[in-house]
């Protein structure tokens, strides 16, 4: 069935968070009424507050709300929405959804279902691209999904290989396999992720290039046969195949290579009868060769950098094409001006293997004026505001910080100043990690490839040199927390080191990485700072021993996360807050450090507990139990898999031994800190 193209005056945005707010911004500027949809978890979310109307879809689970096709279409009918913009993720590349909209007489702001189907099956897409003369990476894209055959094909291609979900995208169901020994475990994990994210377990295998760059081309096509490319973006800096920093144009691109890649991208789009905004992703090898990876049949997360260098609003282009209009500009009318970067701000903890973080944003602000930044050069696309709650149910991205400069160096300097001016409190984020990336000498020198973070892991995660005041603030917050937990009317009920006729003394170990605290008392424990706190009564100041310094210390809480630390009468102000696993300290504008603390005096039972239990590192859902109670396991062996914010996390054995019992089953929801299992270490 072909849908008759027609104008519309009301747009429903079938998404949430940052992209929903961004689409509605352009829609309002075009004079359109906007409709938001939401789950129970998002009833008070920013995109709901900003829309003209909002309709509840269902419970928090995406499959019962944002992925519920019938509920989304009914919301459009109830509000008179003539068109639906899917954003990215959720239903944005769902062919049956597009077909359902066609039957309902509602315009889909995106490509036809046939184009989505052509690129949604990555194996079939490779064949179409080969027919269109688009270069391909060597690999296996067949229908036979037998485990032994897939392993055999991987062996033929040669390791390392990349396993990818055939129906996937966004890094879901994708893993690098370094050798044949790890193939089956990686295949099982990819299939689980792919099934959960896309309802499809089919895999394809590609040769994994060791030093490629990820360069993608923005294409646009209308219903009148016109197609253009709006140049390229470099997205090489990635973590777990998810982009972290993007820039446009790609550094080091010659005019000839830009034209070749652009024309190949347009050929790819025309091959499948594409309409609207799409992105053709390539791997660019060091010798200048490039290979087709996939096509995302939607608006990309990183589209703002293209908007910055071209001066075009890509969402406006989408809406106009959906109304049947021709592309606003021809290829020879498009030009590149300056350079742009985008940094993705996530609610996650880089110091804990990027575990997703949840909580309430006590403050979320970007002070451009205070940082001396030009509002025309800095853009913050956000789906949250101060006071909003970050839940476990959806992707952890909070916002995108986009900057523009006359050249790459100027844009990079603006990015660093803007990151420093971004004030996020209440939830752990990757802001400081983004600063370390953006100031890294290799990144500044354009030494880019898709393993950038892996190659520079040691320097990117090097412990920050903290001041005595920072350690004192973290220790005082920890001591205060311990004292609060141990409050009692009777000294006999206290378990905080209280002794009759003796000073109250507690010893803490502080470290920037939690796992190092298990060896806190070892003489060679690197990066661990021991702090001893003593005071006569609760009203007295603490006497802190930090290294070889003994200091009289007081801590005063100011507004927000600001604190004042007074050491021997010298008062200093800094940012510090108690988190679920430690203290986050910001002693200077350049970044923050998460300090984990553990009590190491005589009454500490933490090590025994760590050996006998395993706790959930974040809120999430149990996906699979990988061993049986009583089964003997070795240290580091996977025990169970959790999923949070669309990513899997594997819990491993802390030592040789066996699991005595699991407290949760597959499908159960757990909270951060819940005891997942009882573990018995081998004696």
Report helix, strand or coil for 454: helix
Q: Give helix 113-120 / helix 122-131 axis angle, nearest 10°.
A: 100
pLDDT at 154 over 70: yes
User: Is 490's pLDDT higher than 60?
Assistant: no
Helix 255-271 and helix 122-131: axis angle, to 10°?
110
Q: Which of 76-80, 232-236, 438-442, 486-490 has the least mean pLDDT?
A: 486-490
Confidence grade of residue 515 (pLDDT, cut at 50, 70, 90): very low
Residue 469, pLDDT score: 86
SS3 label, residue 344:
strand
Poorest-pLDDT segment among 84-93, 241-250, 272-281, 568-577? 568-577
- For residue 229, which of 310, 338, 341, 111 has the smallest C-alpha distance? 310
- The C-alpha atoms of residue 125 and residue 281 are separated, in whole angstroms, by 13
Please tell me which of 332-336, 494-498, 621-625, 656-660 the model is most confident about, judged by mean pLDDT: 332-336
Query: Is the pLDDT score of 346 beyond 70?
Result: yes
- Residue of 134 and 469 predicted with greater confidence: 134
Q: Which of 388-392, 514-518, 671-675 has the highest mean pLDDT?
A: 388-392
pLDDT digits (tens, 9 = 90+) for 233-256: 999 999 877 899 999 999 999 999
Instruction: Kindly report, residue by residue over 186-202, the tens digit of the pLDDT.
Output: 999 999 988 887 888 99
- At 225 the pLDDT is 95
Give pTM, 2 decimals: 0.76
> What sign does the CA torsion over 673, 676, 678, 683 have?
negative
- Let me know: does 106 contact 100? Beta carbons within 8 Å: no
Q: Are 511 and 583 in contact (CB under 8 A)?
A: no
CA dihedral (602, 605, 610, 615) positive or negative: negative
Residue 484: pLDDT band (50, 70, 90) is: low
Q: Can you give the pLDDT at residue 544? A: 93
pLDDT at residue 300 is higher than 90: yes
Closest listed residue to residue 78, CA positions, set 37, 122, 128:
37
Residue 194 · residue 203 · CB < 8 Å:
yes
The number of C-alpha atoms within 13 Å of 251 and in the hemisphere containing its C-beta is 21
Which single residue is written with the structure tokens 């370390």? 436
Residue 434, CB half-sphere, CA atoms under 13 Å: how many?
28
β-pairing, 10-13 vs 83-85, is parallel
Tell me what pLDDT residue 610 has: 40
Q: How does residue 645 score in pLDDT terms, banded at 50, 70 and 90?
A: low
pLDDT of residue 517: 55
- Least Cα distance to 615 among 678, 658, 675 occurs for 675
- Are 145 and 190 a contacting pair, CB within 8 Å? no
Helix axes 314-322, 17-29, angle to 10 degrees: 70
Half-sphere CA count of 137, side-chain side, radius 13 A: 28
Using alpha carbons only, give the angle 152, 158, 164 rounded to the nearest 5 degrees: 75
Q: How many residues does the chain have?
A: 683
What pLDDT score does 388 carry? Answer: 93
Our measurement of the distance from residue 261's CA atom to the centroid of its chain's CA atoms, rounded to an integer in Å, reads 28
Structure tokens at 623: 């996906």
Active site amino acids = 298
Residues 6+ apart with CB under 8 A from 224: 326
- Could you give the CA distance from residue 604 to residue 608 in angstroms, rounded to a whole number? 9
Question: Considering only CA atoms, which of 412, 432, 421 is closest in space to residue 370?
Answer: 421
pLDDT, the chain, mean: 87
What local confidence, expressed as pLDDT, does residue 229 receive? Answer: 98
Question: Which residues are within 8 A (CB) of 430 and not within 5 positions of it... i.e. 6 or more apart?
Answer: 244, 344, 345, 346, 348, 350, 354
Say what the pLDDT of residue 153 is: 95
pLDDT for 494 beyond 60:
no
DSSP state for residue 265 in the 8-state scheme? H
Say how far apart CA 391 and CA 44 lie, in whole Å. Answer: 12
Q: Are 234 and 251 in contact (CB under 8 A)?
A: yes
- 683 CB-contact burial (10 Å; exposed 0-12 / middle 13-18 / buried 19+): exposed
**What is the pLDDT at residue 518?**
52
C-alpha to C-alpha distance for 116 and 100, rounded to whole angstroms: 14
Mean pLDDT of 622-649: 84
CA distance 317 to 300: 14
Of the chain, the end-to-end C-alpha distance in Å amounts to 69
Q: How far is 283 from 289, CA to CA, in rounded Å?
A: 8
Mean of the pLDDT values across residues 251-265? 97
CA distance 57 to 63: 10
pLDDT value of position 304: 98
Name the least confident of 42-46, 108-112, 451-455, 529-533.
529-533
Instruction: Collapse the DSSP code of 501 into the 3-class scheme (helix H, G, I; strand E, B; otherwise coil) and give the result.
Output: coil
208-225 per-position pLDDT tens digit? 887 899 999 999 999 999
Burial track 257-275 (b if 16+ CB lie within 10 A, e otherwise) = bbeebbbbbbbbbebbebb
Most trustworthy range by pLDDT among 6-10, 105-109, 118-122, 553-557 = 105-109
Q: What is the pLDDT of residue 461?
A: 82
pLDDT of 671 over the 50 cut: yes
CA distances from 563 to 360, 364, 367, 466 (A): 19, 18, 20, 16
What would the two tokens of residue 649 be?
A: 């996390």
Higher-confidence residue: 548 or 683?
548
Question: How would residue 287 be classed by pLDDT, with cut points 50, 70 and 90?
Answer: confident
**Residue range 155-180: mean pLDDT, rounded:** 88
Query: For 136-140, 334-338, 494-498, 537-541, which range has the lowest pLDDT when averaged over its residues?
Result: 494-498
Per-residue pLDDT tens over the stretch 574-593: 878 776 557 777 765 555 67
pLDDT at position 236 is: 95
């Amino acid at each position: 069935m072909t849908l008759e193209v027609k104008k519309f005056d009301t747009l429903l945005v079938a998404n949430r968070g940052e992209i929903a707010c961004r689409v509605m911004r352009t829609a309002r500027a075009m004079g359109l009424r906007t409709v938001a949809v939401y789950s129970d978890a998002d009833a008070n979310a920013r995109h709901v507050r900003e829309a003209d109307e909002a309709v509840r879809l269902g419970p928090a689970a995406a499959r019962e709300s944002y992925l519920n096709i019938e509920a989304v279409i009914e919301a459009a009918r109830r509000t008179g929405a003539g068109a639906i913009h899917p954003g990215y993720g959720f239903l944005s590349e769902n062919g049956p959804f597009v077909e359902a909209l066609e039957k309902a007489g509602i315009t889909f702001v995106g490509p036809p279902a046939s184009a989505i189907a052509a690129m949604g099956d990555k194996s079939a897409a490779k064949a179409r691209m080969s027919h269109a003369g688009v270069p391909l990476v060597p690999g296996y894209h067949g229908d036979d999904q037998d485990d032994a055959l897939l392993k055999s094909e991987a062996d033929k291609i040669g390791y390392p290989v990349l396993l990818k979900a055939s129906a996937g995208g966004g890094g879901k169901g994708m893993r690098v396999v370094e050798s044949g020994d790890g193939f089956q475990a990686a295949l099982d994990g990819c299939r689980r992720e792919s099934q959960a994210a896309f309802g499809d377990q089919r895999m394809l295998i590609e040769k994994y290039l060791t030093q490629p760059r990820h360069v993608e081309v923005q294409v646009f096509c209308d219903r009148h046969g016109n197609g253009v490319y709006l140049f390229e973006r470099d997205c090489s800096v990635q973590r777990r195949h998810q982009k972290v920093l993007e820039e446009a144009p790609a550094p080091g691109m010659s005019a000839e290579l830009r034209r070749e890649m652009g024309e190949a991208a347009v050929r790819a789009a025309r091959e499948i009868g594409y309409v609207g905004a799409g992105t053709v992703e390539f791997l660019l090898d060091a010798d200048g060769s490039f290979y087709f990876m996939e096509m995302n049949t939607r608006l990309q997360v990183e589209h703002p950098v293209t908007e910055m260098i071209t001066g075009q609003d890509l969402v406006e282009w989408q809406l106009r094409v959906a109304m049947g209009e021709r592309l606003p500009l021809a290829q020879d009318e498009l030009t590149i001006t300056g350079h742009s970067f985008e940094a993705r701000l996530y609610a996650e903890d880089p110091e804990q293997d990027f575990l997703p973080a949840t909580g309430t944003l006590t403050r979320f602000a970007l002070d451009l004026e205070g940082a001396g930044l030009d509002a025309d050069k800095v853009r913050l696309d956000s789906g949250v505001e101060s006071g909003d709650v970050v839940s476990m149910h959806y992707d952890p991205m909070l916002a995108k910080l986009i900057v523009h400069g006359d050249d790459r160096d100027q844009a990079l300097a603006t990015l660093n100043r803007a990151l420093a001016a971004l004030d996020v409190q209440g939830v752990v984020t990757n802001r400081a990690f983004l600063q370390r990336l953006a100031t890294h000498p290799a990144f500044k020198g354009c030494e880019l490839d898709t393993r950038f973070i892996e190659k520079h892991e040691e320097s990117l995660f090097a412990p920050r040199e903290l001041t005595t005041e920072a350690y004192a603030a973290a220790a005082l917050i920890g001591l205060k927390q311990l004292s609060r937990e141990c409050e009692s009317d009777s000294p006999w009920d206290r378990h905080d080191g209280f002794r009759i006729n003796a000073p109250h003394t507690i010893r803490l170990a502080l470290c920037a990485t939690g796992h190092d605290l298990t060896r806190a008392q070892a003489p060679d424990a690197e990066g661990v700072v021991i702090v001893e706190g003593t005071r006569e009564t609760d009203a007295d100041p603490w006497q802190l021993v930090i290294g070889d310094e003994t200091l009289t210390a007081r801590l005063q809480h100011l507004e927000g996360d600001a604190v004042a630390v007074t050491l021997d009468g010298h008062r200093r102000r800094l940012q510090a807050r108690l988190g679920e696993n430690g203290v986050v300290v910001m002693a200077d504008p350049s970044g923050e450090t998460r300090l984990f603390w553990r009590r190491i005096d005589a009454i500490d039972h933490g090590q025994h507990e760590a050996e006998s239990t395993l706790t959930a590192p974040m809120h999430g859902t149990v996906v699979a139990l990988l061993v049986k109670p009583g089964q003997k396991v070795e240290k580091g062996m996977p025990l169970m898999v959790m999923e949070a914010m669309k990513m899997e996390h594997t819990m491993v054995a802390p030592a040789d031994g066996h699991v005595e019992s699991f407290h949760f089953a597959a499908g159960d929801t757990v909270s951060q800190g819940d005891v997942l299992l009882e573990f018995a270490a081998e004696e």
